[in-house]
Structure 1
Amino acid sequence: MKMKNVFKINKKYTVNISRDEKEIYEDDYIVKSIGECGLFQISVCSIVTMTRFIGIWNCLSVLFLIPAQSFRCIHFKENGTIHPENFTCYSDCIEYEYSQEIFEETVISKFNLICDRAWLANFTQTALMFGVLAGVSTFCWMSDRFGRGKAIFLAGLTNIAFMIAIIFSTNYFMFLCFRFGIGVGSGGFLGLSSIIIAETVGASYREMGVSLGLVPDGFAQASLAAFAYYSSTWKMYLFGFTVVSILIVVLLFFVPESPRWLVANGKSDAAIEVLTKAAKINKRSPTEIENIVAQRISEIKIKESDAQYHTYFDLFRTKELAVITVSSIISLFVSGISFFGINEYISRLGSSLNIYLIVMIMGLGVTPTVPMSMVIAKRCNRRSSSAISLLITAIAMGLLIFVPADTWYSILLGVIAVAASCVTFSIQFTFVTELYPTSMRSMGFGLNTGGTKLGAMMAPFVASSKPFWVAPLIFCILPIIAIVFTLILPETKGKKLKDTLKE
């Protein structure tokens, strides 16, 4: 009787659920125990979602850390009648003067990242994204091996430690090392948040949960403009969102272990304890939870002592798994280079446009993509919706080739391209979490989103390509390639999450 009530509530928020899908949803042991979506799921998902603020702040802070900053020589080796020009390097220049349009001191002016050292400015983002890649792989492996809760909390501590340390950097090498450390912690957040959400809510709420989990991305980017506007130096800028990040990490104390992970690893007692507390929070009877968990564990035939721990090589164990892994890595690589690259490219378009306003518009412009992606994911299958959003990105960037830089038309096309990339992210994150079983879901998600980070590592160099039309041309071609690999993946919409590789 209670299952009918759960489905009745669910029906209010979903559209066109078939009888087969209803049977799949109701057969899930988590749904039987605590319902599809209640106060417990909302609380856990809200806290986990907030960690994405920290990840996005760190990944996009580069927009103000290394802006397009003008400079000119003010002291030559020999006094002469040379009239130095902006953005011009001189072999006999001893000292350069930097503009202070954004900060009194930026990372570029602090470490003199101009002329023959200009590539080091872009490399700061590459180092951070390399750290994110390492963090996603490491913390996703840890979450499969030791639990989701332990992994995401350790990622939080790693983040805060390096975010505080970087403020005290005295040279470029220290700054670079701390950026890498920040990337490692941020990778943990960006890799685990979608996994925990997908495993916490019921199947019919999965698209909604994962999509809403990306809500902070746009707001985080927009808020960077506020942090930068009220900061006088790059250190104050970083300190501002570090303080807020500490408050978010404290909330991770209240995130319990994923009951799906506990069941998949044969930890029946711990799973029953978590589900019993969750049922009480959701105002449901916990009397049948012990039997439900015991039945599920007997179905997958796993005892705690016999739990299997996979390695990344298992993601290529069969031909089917190898095709899935390679195809989704390529698709997410394109999403990463598009989202981060287009953001940087648009922010560098010209000096006549207000960078604070541009970053805020780019951030707020992608926020509506969350409800949009929820509707698309619910009404369309994963492959076609991903392909369409990739195509929109390609068309917008193709048109940008023929639009003059330093105009609001170019900003509009940039917003459309980034928004389409966000829709792709939302759908693909849901897609990838459904492609792998619980026993290796985090590793699969981590390795695949590693493609995103590889794309983000290359993004600054693509965004700074000359002449100006080269970057949008690359951002136009890559999504078309990604469409081919996306269509290779098997459809997962409406299917129950698997717990073991045998399933």
Structure 2
Amino acid sequence: MVKKEIDLDEILLEVGQFGRFQIKNFVLILVPILFCAFYNSQYIFAAASVQYRCRVPECEATPPNFETNGWGSWALPDSGGRCERYVPIGSICDPGSFHPNNTEQCTSWVYSNHDSIVSSFDLACEEWKRTLVGTVHGAGLFFALAITAYISDTYGRRLAFVLTAVAPAAVGLGRSFSDTYITYIILEFVEAVAAGGVYSSGFVLALEMMGLNRRVLGGNLISCTYALGQALVALIAWAIPEWRTFTRVIYVPSVLFVIYYFLLEESVRWLLSKGKKKEAVKIIFKAASVNKRKLSPETIKQLNEESIADQDTTKTTNDTIKAAIEPEEKQPSLVLQVLKSRVIMTRLLICAFWWISVTFIYYGISINSVSLAGNSYVNYILTSLVEIPGYILSILSLDRFGRKGSIMTAFFICGVSLVGLPFVPEDLLWLQTCLNLLGKLCISMVFSSIYIYTSELYPTTLRQSLLSVCSMTGRVGQVIAPQTPLLMEYMEALPYLVFGVMAGTSALLMLLTPETLNLSLPDNVKQAENIATKPRAERTTNVAIN
């Protein structure tokens, strides 16, 4: 007699798609996600641009004051004397003691404040060293996501999440005591490697225990939390501008996340994919109990039989109930599984370009926001908070209009707004601001949605790894984004034009991928390949049941 297979998505309909059990784990996951925003944004303030001028020993007070009190008009060029000063021809501070035309390179500087590493490590006139901090941080994420993916798929989602949440405490604290620029840069890279996977591992852990119709809500709540984290870190930096103290305040609390190993539950999908059915069944029963939901007699019988069968490893799988995620005895390597599937390989290449575009545009807009006129902290807070309406639009549109239509539209609007921004007259600053915020709103919607859409395109056995590959490749955009302030010196409109072209291209590439609306998560490569050919009626079955 052929027994009915256990389908985790069907079980979640009985257990509750987003009950007290899932909410408890979800809320716990949101706290490290909040801190993840701190880690990925802190360098914008720690390595913020600082006003500086050449030191003029003949005129300096003791201690030196950044304001020149008039003598700058004859000792410093019209540019403000950032990198050059007039050649002295005397030893006193008066107009006749400086050559009116000849200049020389400065050898020391006076800074307006000492809140940034620019003044601490004397980085005046070396703008590339300041922007390099963000690039190094982005480069560290390449290694972080690969390492996290391996730990997550091999040893469990929970372990990967806890390790990446706790590790930043030690590295971040150590970086706050850096006495040289080289030490700071090295620890910036190490910290990015240690903490870079907390978002992706937490995202997968949270969504794999949610029901089909709660993935979009859960994913966007995570994104909203990240946006709030960015706004909060700006407030902290505003209150504590000195970079060493600021760094200690945001990193030290991370050590408390070690207790998460005992508070969080492992992903049931991952346990089933690894053949750990007894542990998975135990968590399912616990979730039903916490959610105060009663499982059907048939489901209880199947779960009990599965748990008992798991204790006897000598029995063949024909004697047990087949789980929705059937663990294979000898799994081919990740590379072989991807290369052997032309469908999966094509999706991987397309997703990689999406992610490069999204990260480049998203971080590029954020980084440049602190250079806009006005209070840099307020600008960054507004640029962060405007993401939340984008995430709300994602919640409202993804389940109603589908993944593809919603994301394509957001990509196109983002592209049009950013390409048009450089052509707005300078006297229409309000319109420039609106287009900038519209671009950030749309790319934020895409960023949130792309996590959900990408995770739905791949099977459970490869989901974390391929999601991490896409995210890791996307860090190319994050690595390049901090350099956009340098590009604007050559052509002010160039970054925005590139942003717009990449957004439009990404939208067109979405025509080559399938719609995943109302589809169960694929558990193996064959199911993932067949997404595009699934009948529409089959896509809506779960919605009708719910």
Partners of 2:117 and 2:138 in 1: CA distance: 17
Corresponding residue number in structure 2 for 1:4? none
TM-score (normalizing by structure 1): 0.87
Going from structure 1 to structure 2, the CA distance change for 1:235 and 1:430 (only over 3 Å counts) comes to same
Shift of 1:128: 0.8
User: 1:83 is matched with which residue: 76, 98, 106?
Assistant: 76
Corresponding residue number in structure 1 for 2:348? 325
Residue 162 of structure 2 contacts residue 260 of structure 2 at CA under 8 Å; is this kept in 1?
A: no
CA RMSD of aligned residues (A): 2.7
User: 1:431 is matched with which residue: 431, 446, 453?
Assistant: 453
Corresponding residue number in structure 1 for 2:475? 453
Counterpart amino acid of 1:320?
V
1:201-252 CA deviation, whole Å, 9 max, x = no partner?
0111111111111111221111122111111411112122224444456445
Q: Does 1:158 align with 2:167?
A: yes
Residue 157 of structure 2 contacts residue 201 of structure 2 at CA under 8 Å; is this kept in 1?
A: yes
Range that drifts further, 455-464 or 440-449: 455-464
1:435-485 CA deviation, whole Å, 9 max, x = no partner?
111111000100011133111110011243223222212211110111122
Partners of 1:75 and 1:230 in 2: CA distance: 32
Counterpart amino acid of 2:435?
L
Counterpart amino acid of 1:454?
V
Q: Does 1:302 align with 2:323?
A: no
Shift of 1:269: 1.4
1:402-417 aligned within 5 A? 402-403=423-424, 404=426, 407-417=429-439
Going from structure 1 to structure 2, the CA distance change for 1:254 and 1:334 (only over 3 Å counts) comes to same
TM-score (normalizing by structure 2): 0.80
Partners of 2:513 and 2:267 in 1: CA distance: 27
Range that drifts further, 188-197 or 236-245: 236-245
Shift of 1:114: 3.0
Corresponding residue number in structure 1 for 2:23? 42
Partners of 1:221 and 1:406 in 2: CA distance: 28
Counterpart amino acid of 2:401?
C
Corresponding residue number in structure 1 for 2:268? 259
Partners of 1:183 and 1:296 in 2: CA distance: 43
Partners of 2:287 and 2:50 in 1: CA distance: 52
Partners of 1:446 and 1:334 in 2: CA distance: 16
Going from structure 1 to structure 2, the CA distance change for 1:298 and 1:94 (only over 3 Å counts) comes to closer
Going from structure 1 to structure 2, the CA distance change for 1:329 and 1:48 (only over 3 Å counts) comes to same
Computing the radius of gyration over CA atoms, which structure comes out larger, 1 or 2? 2
Shift of 1:280: 1.6
Query: Helix, strand or coil: the match of 1:97?
Result: strand
Query: Helix, strand or coil: the match of 2:515?
Result: coil
1:378-389 aligned within 5 A? 378-389=399-410
Partners of 1:368 and 1:96 in 2: CA distance: 44
Going from structure 1 to structure 2, the CA distance change for 1:297 and 1:126 (only over 3 Å counts) comes to farther
Q: Does 1:205 align with 2:198?
A: no
Going from structure 1 to structure 2, the CA distance change for 1:490 and 1:35 (only over 3 Å counts) comes to same
Corresponding residue number in structure 1 for 2:52? 71
User: 1:56 is matched with which residue: 37, 59, 74?
Assistant: 37
User: 2:111 is matched with which residue: 95, 98, 110?
Assistant: 98
1:166-205 aligned within 5 A? 166-205=175-214
Corresponding residue number in structure 1 for 2:12? 31
Unaligned runs of 5+ in 1: 1-23
Shift of 1:189: 0.9
Residue 70 of structure 1 contacts residue 87 of structure 1 at CA under 8 Å; is this kept in 2?
A: no
1:7-58 CA deviation, whole Å, 9 max, x = no partner?
xxxxxxxxxxxxxxxxx99872541562222111111122222222122211
Query: Helix, strand or coil: the match of 1:63?
Result: helix
Shift of 1:402: 2.2
Corresponding residue number in structure 2 for 1:218? 227
Shift of 1:320: 0.7
Partners of 1:296 and 1:108 in 2: CA distance: 63
Corresponding residue number in structure 2 for 1:140? 149
1:398-444 CA deviation, whole Å, 9 max, x = no partner?
22202339944433322211111110011111111111111110001
Counterpart amino acid of 1:165?
G
Corresponding residue number in structure 2 for 1:480? 504
Partners of 1:471 and 1:207 in 2: CA distance: 31
Corresponding residue number in structure 2 for 1:131? 140
User: 1:440 is matched with which residue: 458, 462, 486?
Assistant: 462
Identity %: 22
Residue 224 of structure 2 contacts residue 387 of structure 2 at CA under 8 Å; is this kept in 1?
A: no
Range that drifts further, 465-474 or 325-334: 465-474
1:262-273 aligned within 5 A? 262-273=271-282
Counterpart amino acid of 1:369?
G
Going from structure 1 to structure 2, the CA distance change for 1:32 and 1:367 (only over 3 Å counts) comes to closer
Count of residues paired in the alignment: 472
1:359-393 CA deviation, whole Å, 9 max, x = no partner?
11112221222222111111112112111111121
Shift of 1:77: 10
Corresponding residue number in structure 1 for 2:304? 290
Shift of 1:285: 3.9
Residue 366 of structure 2 contacts residue 384 of structure 2 at CA under 8 Å; is this kept in 1?
A: no
Unaligned runs of 5+ in 2: 61-70, 85-103, 310-319, 528-546
